[in-house]
């Protein structure tokens, strides 16, 4: 909880959120989008998708800046104290384990490809296993290793991306980019689901960072100028590099930028840095889900990282698009319930907020229905023999919002009737 006088500027918050966009997953999203749509359409989808993310971040973030509390405490009003910790921790655990597996898989592919340059043959699953285990061990040592890796990996990733982009736009690839025709056919809504899913969790838990903002306008400026420019830029870079180097393999792209050694090392360090956060956050989430004592945090981090490593070994990277779509279905309905309560029922008045003990089953039910219905098109898409249903990434938010609002109104009317009959 925020202490009196403990504030941050909108600029520092914006830098934090912009920094979160400068990562391998953003490049992977650009890679995924450009495989099924033209570059202008991919950039439009990115802008619209991150605009939706920013709106959610503003509405979520202001709740925490008003109350000076992190998201899990603010959600205690609609889910109950126990319910909010359980639901948000389950979502956080699933997202972190999935992302850990994807990043370890990318790192394993990079390591295998880099070694192949020197005539050393290593299967990608085995390389992913080695990378994942190294990440797990380093994550157990916590923030010190993360800080060192961040100082090296982030600048190196930015330099490689900028160099690759300049080399592409000033070389002979410009014509190829202008004449590019996608091999696949991804719909606008499917692309929107992938884009929103890539930062849906960040939008819902925006309050963890904005709780230290002094004014509502600080959250608005930080989200707008921190997310959209950095997000569109990184996804655009991922898309352009994919076209220029004529491969949908992010590892192959990095090995072709500069030298194989520099590109491979940049990719390995960037995924390693991000996965330390995934392992640590995933471990803390598991502690909250299973109500384990804080003293066993290192064990939980190890378990979270090991599960993510196993996902990498089985090739979770091959399912990147459906995973992003599932995250875009599961996570935003949390915001739908919280927005309905804080902004509609309580009219954005922080004095009306109260943290409930136990579980608020109306909030839990509203979120669950929205998440399940929004996930149906994604699940059906995994089975070609089943009917195809168009992906609607915002439907979960709307359904959860409506159910909670209607349920709360009905409950309030029943309370009034009971009081009148006494």
204: domain CATH number is 1.10.4160.10
Residue 79 has pLDDT above 70, yes or no: yes
Q: Judge whether 5 lies within some domain.
A: no
Residue 8 has pLDDT above 70, yes or no: yes
Residue 2 has pLDDT above 60, yes or no: no
- From the list 341, 305, 176, 349, the residue with the least C-alpha distance to 247 is 176
- From the list 16, 384, 32, the residue with the least C-alpha distance to 196 is 32
Residue 284 has pLDDT above 90, yes or no: no
- For position 420, what pLDDT does the model report? 66
Mean pLDDT of all residues in the chain?
90
Q: Judge whether 92 lies within some domain.
A: yes
Residue 273 has pLDDT above 90, yes or no: no
Q: Express each pLDDT in 36-73 by its tens digit.
A: 999 999 999 999 999 999 999 999 999 999 999 989 88
Q: Judge whether 27 lies within some domain.
A: yes
The span from the CA of 1 to the CA of 18, in Å, is 24
Q: Counting runs of H as helices and runs of E as strands, what totals does the chain give?
A: 19, 0
Q: Judge whether 39 lies within some domain.
A: yes
Full domain range(s) for residue 367: 10-420
Mean pLDDT calculated for residue range 193-204: 92
More confident residue, 302 or 412: 302
pTM: 0.87
Q: Judge whether 397 lies within some domain.
A: yes
Question: Are 42 and 191 contacting, i.e. CB atoms less than 8 angstroms apart?
Answer: yes
Total domains in the chain come to: 1
Q: Judge whether 3 lies within some domain.
A: no
Q: Express each pLDDT in 210-224 by its tens digit.
A: 999 989 999 999 999
User: Would you call 41 exposed, middle or buried from its count of C-beta atoms within 10 A (0-12, 13-18, 19+)?
Assistant: middle
- For position 396, what pLDDT does the model report? 92
Q: Judge whether 169 lies within some domain.
A: yes
Mean pLDDT calculated for residue range 319-339: 91
């Amino acid at each position: 909880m925020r202490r009196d006088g403990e504030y941050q500027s909108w600029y520092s918050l914006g830098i934090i959120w912009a920094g979160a966009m400068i990562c391998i997953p953003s490049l992977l999203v650009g890679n995924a989008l450009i495989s099924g749509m033209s570059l202008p359409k991919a950039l439009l989808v990115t802008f619209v998708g991150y605009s939706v993310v920013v709106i959610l971040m503003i509405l979520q973030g202001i709740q925490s800046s008003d109350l000076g509390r992190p998201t899990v405490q603010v959600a205690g009003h609609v889910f109950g104290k126990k319910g909010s910790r359980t639901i948000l921790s389950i979502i956080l655990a699933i997202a972190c384990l999935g992302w850990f597996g994807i990043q370890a898989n990318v790192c394993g592919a990079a390591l295998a490809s880099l070694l192949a340059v020197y005539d050393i043959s290593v299967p990608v699953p085995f390389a992913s296993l080695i990378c994942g285990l190294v990440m797990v061990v380093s994550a157990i040592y916590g923030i010190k290793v993360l800080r060192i890796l961040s100082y090296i990996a982030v600048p190196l990733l930015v330099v490689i991306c900028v160099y690759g982009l300049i080399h592409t736009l000033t070389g002979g690839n410009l014509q190829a980019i202008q004449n590019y025709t996608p091999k696949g056919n991804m719909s606008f809504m499917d692309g929107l689901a992938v884009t929103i899913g890539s930062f849906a969790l960040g939008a819902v838990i925006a309050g963890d960072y904005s709780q230290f903002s002094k004014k509502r306008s600080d959250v608005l400026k930080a989200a707008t100028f921190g997310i959209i420019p950095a997000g569109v830029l990184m996804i655009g870079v991922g898309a352009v590099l994919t076209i220029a180097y004529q491969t949908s393999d992010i590892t192959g792209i990095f090995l072709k930028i500069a030298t194989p050694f520099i590109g491979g090392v940049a990719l390995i360090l960037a995924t390693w840095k991000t996965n330390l956060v995934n392992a640590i956050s995933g471990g803390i989430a598991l502690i909250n889900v299973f109500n384990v004592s804080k003293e066993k945090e290192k064990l939980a981090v190890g378990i979270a990282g090991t599960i993510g490593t196993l996902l990498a070994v089985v090739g979770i990277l091959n399912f990147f698009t459906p995973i992003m779509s599932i995250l875009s279905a599961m996570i935003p309905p949390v915001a739908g319930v919280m927005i309905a309560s804080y902004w509609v029922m309580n009219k954005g008045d922080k004095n009306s907020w109260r943290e409930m003990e136990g579980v608020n089953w109306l909030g839990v039910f509203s979120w669950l229905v929205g998440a399940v219905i929004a996930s149906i098109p994604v699940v059906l898409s995994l089975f070609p023999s089943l009917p195809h249903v168009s992906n609607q990434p915002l439907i979960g938010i709307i359904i959860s919002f409506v159910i909670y609002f209607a349920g709360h109104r009905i409950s309030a009317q029943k309370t009034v009737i009971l009081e009148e009959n006494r």
